[in-house]
A and B are shown apart, each in its own frame.
Chain A
Amino acid sequence: MSDDEEHYNPQSHKKLLQAISSRGNVQHIQRSTRDERQPVQDEFQLVKSSNASSSANVDEPRAVGLNDLVQILRTSSKHLDTGKKLKNVQSTKKVLQKPLEKPAADRIKRTIGYEGVSKKLGRWDAVVSKQRSAETQIFPIPSETIYVNTSAHAKPLKTSIKSDLAKELEESNQRLRELRKKQIGDMTDDKLLAQQERALLEKKLTRDELFARRKELAYLKMRESQKSAKARMQKKIKSKKYHKLQKRQKMLEQIKEFELLQKTNPEAALEKLEALEKSRVKERASLRHKNTGTWAKNLQVRAKYDREVRKDLAEQLAVSRQLTQKQHDSESEEDQESNTLKLDEQDKLLDNDPFNPWTKVKSKGKTNTNEEETDDPNWRKYWTERNETNKLLAQHREDIQELKETKKETKTAKTTPKAKKSSLKIKKAKVTVQNGWKVEKLSKDATLEEIFEQHGDILKEKVGKKLEKLRKQADKLKETPAKGKQLKKKKDALKNLKDLTFKNTKQRIEIDEPLNSEDIETKTGEINPKSNVSEEAEIVEKSSAVIESIDPTKVTTLNWTQASRGRLNDALGDGELEADFDEEDYTNADRQLTLTEAFEDDDIIADFNKDKEKDSELKNTELQLAMPGWGSWAGAGISAEVMERRNKRLLLKLAVPEKRRDENKDNLYINETSSKDTRSHLVSSVPFPFRSLADYEASIRAPIGRNFVPETAFRMLTRPAVITRKGQVIEPMDESELIKPDRRLRHIVDRRIKHLPKHKPLPPKAKIA
């Protein structure tokens, strides 16, 4: 063959032609191959499916539908039924609901996720609150795991892990197995068995886990779908009329049910009635049947001209009147009864609790008797008291019984009811009233009709009571519907954390103020004595302003705090009143009480002013320093003139008092004798975490230095709040903290602190003489 001779290959030619013809609709972008997992498909990587392009010339392969399957199944009689079933399934199957719109669905997902996370974060509440209240925190948080540096104590490697005993056991086992093999022909391989067992166990475990996981997922899914369904439902129905009709229908149904129940099961009927009543109350609370709605207002406009409209309005009002009317009626009926009952209950309350001091105070008769018998020793007093209360109780019980009896006698006597629940009632009667038996005996000769009637009466009574209760509740609801809603809204997410926090045993002062960066001059100006005094003065003024309007007890307490502040000052500098302290300490406990008693009918203001005058008295006087006979050595007969001159010379005239700072302020007393130098060092108000002056004083008064307390106490008192170690990384809180038991304390001081009695803080001074 020569080179230019054309070698015709029909196949390749055909290929060529095809290639040329399909050149127009070839796709240059290749379908992307995914080598990494990708949650999002890039739109640029979407390629037209290959058969879509090629289907133009070839017969298009249709997707297989359900009908095709059914057709095929029909061909054989064996599968005819299955075909039908398939068809049925298709026709009866509900179409899935359209999913919620994306924003709404996302919102639901977000809320669910957030709930989950906040719940998970809530686990830390206890740990965090404990950490916050801890007296000393040590970082890094000591973990229970012990790390042993094995390389340091490396021993020659033991070749076998098994102990001697284990080896022996194994040997004996082996022997046993061999014996078995010989005797019984036991061919099981132990190793294989063990392996299988392990595999099984593992499999089981994973399966359980899987189940748990699936359950959890299903639960989440369910929550989501529930929420979405709810949202959908709420959205869907708009018609007011529909709701109205539905409600009415429900009411009717309920009434029917109620009637039926009344005949068969009266107790259930009672409950039903309650529910009905509740719904009625709700409707009433909604004020729908007044003439205040927009509908009614529109009608009012037209009512002038349209008779029909007037009629409608009247109907509406009538409904509302009816709703209210019914209530009044039933109320008036039961008011009297309830009143008497209430009184009884009150009596009972008063007498029932003989050991309650509050009720004791009210019942004066008893207290009198107690006072009479104060001579008795304690135990006797107790018994006499108890006997008496018992007597009173018994008497009261009798009274109550009598009352009940009379009530029952007014109605027809009670008989043995035959229903099941009636037996229950008899039991009750046994417990409460013994006379219940009597009534039964009487009722034996009553007719059946009477029995039923009476039973009905009892039921009615009960219903009445319930209704009253409901009414009260409804009233309450009406009063505070808005409040209830608010409360629900303000569900505190941090409640758990707040509940878990406990009071710090050792309070530290927290100063949360901006740093003073201003020039010192201005700053010192602020704390100079003048301003300080004015501050104090303000406090006093405030307290005294209250005097006129409020009872003296309050004033005395204020006075007391003032006095104790004086003591606080002493703790710092001038120890002049040191001796007085202890006495005051002893009397502190009952001081408040005695003061209030003492001031019951005193004129405090006058006393106060007297004090003030007394302070300035000294300055206003003239002191005669001359003593009788002094200077007149020569005896009598010195001229009066000379004497007078001498007396004048020796007369010490005290300076005219300076104007008091509190001169014209009636209710103000400024102590001017206190040292002015110390004033700038004194605290003017109780610092933050402390609630009372006493607490703060206690914290200040106890010394902590080595010179004043023993060494161990010193170490305990000066233990820092946070201890960190140099060169150690502090890891964040670990999950193991959640389940960790109380740490074994290594440090001796920590252990001592832990063993201290919890209820009282450290003794102010350990007395070691």
Chain B
Amino acid sequence: MIFLSFFKTLVGKEIAVELKNDVVLTGTLHSVDQYLNVKLMNVQIINPEKYPQLTALQNCFVRGSVVRYIQIPPEHVDTELLQDAARKENAPASAASSSAN
């Protein structure tokens, strides 16, 4: 659940979601769920000249399974906190029981 918690901290921030068909959408992150489905507000298509089919979209729910990358503004990420959370989340089985959420 580390990434669910992580993306929840980015709600309200601008992110860029790259899909597995090369389309890139930017927008304000509105919500995220356990499947890492994301909802973006006021979506803009990066290179609309290449994907003009999507220019009419406004607020957009993107299924997690079609996402390739999500670009995140680095200034909104506490990398130390993130690394600690990752170490905890992936702690070896013997240590996991004490750090379970």
Q: State yes or no: do A and B come from one complex.
A: no
